[in-house]
Amino acid sequence: MRTHLLRGIVLIAVVSVLGIGGAGAQQALTWTAGPVGGGWYQMAGGFAELIREKGGITVKVIPGGGTQNPAIIEKGDADMGFGLPPLLNAATMGDDPYTGTKHASLRALAGNMSLNTFHMYVGADTPYANMTMDEIFKGKKPIRLAVSPSGTSDEWVFRKVLESYGTSYKDMEAAGAKFFRGNYTEQAGMFKDRNVDGTFTFLALPGAAVTEASVGRSLKLLSFSEPLLAYLGKFGLGKGTIPPDTYPKAANAKETVVSATMGSTIVVSAKMPADLVYRLAQAINDNPDRVRQIHGSLKLYDPTQAFLATGLPLHPGAERYYREKGYLK
């Protein structure tokens, strides 16, 4: 009897350590975010701390990107991550940039958060500071531009920008333009070192990498034209602004700069247990004040609206949470 009792105690201890069963069991999840130095990476770290504290769930954050994250989660290399509604919808349908490959295992945990803004900025000491985006790209100017790596949401949108002007990387390069790829920190470094004339990037406001770039070199933010915004709108992007003094050291810091925007969705695998997803939704949405403190772009986060504009079906565990709270009727 004593031997059987001891074996039972040992088995319970092992089950608890491995996180098997039980609401109080330890869980370990992987969250694919964005490039190091970007808003998503910072926010994921804040969410991870909140989830650990309020939900008892350990979350490891890894770098990712808006375009890669659906595939990373679909393959099981991460349990959850950030996504962008237009790209998430394209991933489930097998549309560009996922042509021919449908991602069927993606579900939404929470969305309608952290409006991310596209930035096109150039050195105030370059001739491009006196041009519009239309003039630079329609005119195929020989600009040296830092962009994000292939496979990121930033770069996908940048290709759509080039398409809207009837041009491409190949056409621009034939006219003397040069493109340099790097993460947000590398982009800022290239700009400050004057290895590029400007940068096209995508960050939640205020973008730490843009602030860093402006400290080392005077920059000017360029507005997106209405025809460009109308074209990008076909792919689910919205119209937004970079308010005055978002970047105090910018040459045009006092101006309102018109830009394109996309909100963010927290994505989970459809294979994740419903009870675990419920606990994640609870840890985040029961603590909205903490969420709003994670990053400036989350200051308007509203859990009563978190099930909207996700680009994906809700995970059953998340749906149960929103229905129990009375947010989803």
Residue 288 pLDDT greater than 80, yes or no: yes
d(CA 36, CA 275): 31
pLDDT, mean of residues 45-60: 97
- Please state the pTM of the whole predicted model: 0.68
d(CA 96, CA 98): 5
Residue 18 pLDDT greater than 80, yes or no: no
User: Where do the domains of the chain lie, and which CATH numbers do they carry?
Assistant: 26-115+263-325 (3.40.190.10), 116-262 (3.40.190.10)
Which tens digits make up the pLDDT trace of 96-136?
889 889 999 999 999 989 888 999 999 999 999 999 999 99
Greatest extent of the chain over all pairs of C-alpha atoms, in Å = 86
Which tens digits make up the pLDDT trace of 176-232?
999 999 999 999 999 999 999 999 999 888 898 999 999 989 999 999 999 999 998
Q: Taking the CB of residue 271, how many other CB atoms lie within 10 A of it?
A: 11
Q: Give the pLDDT score at 26.
A: 54
Tell me the angle at which helices 316-325 and 274-285 cross, rounded to the nearest 10 degrees: 50
- Cβ(50)–Cβ(287) below 8 Å: yes
Cα–Cα separations (whole angstroms), residue 226 to 75, 134, 223, 253: 38, 10, 9, 21
Query: Average per-residue pLDDT in the chain?
Result: 90
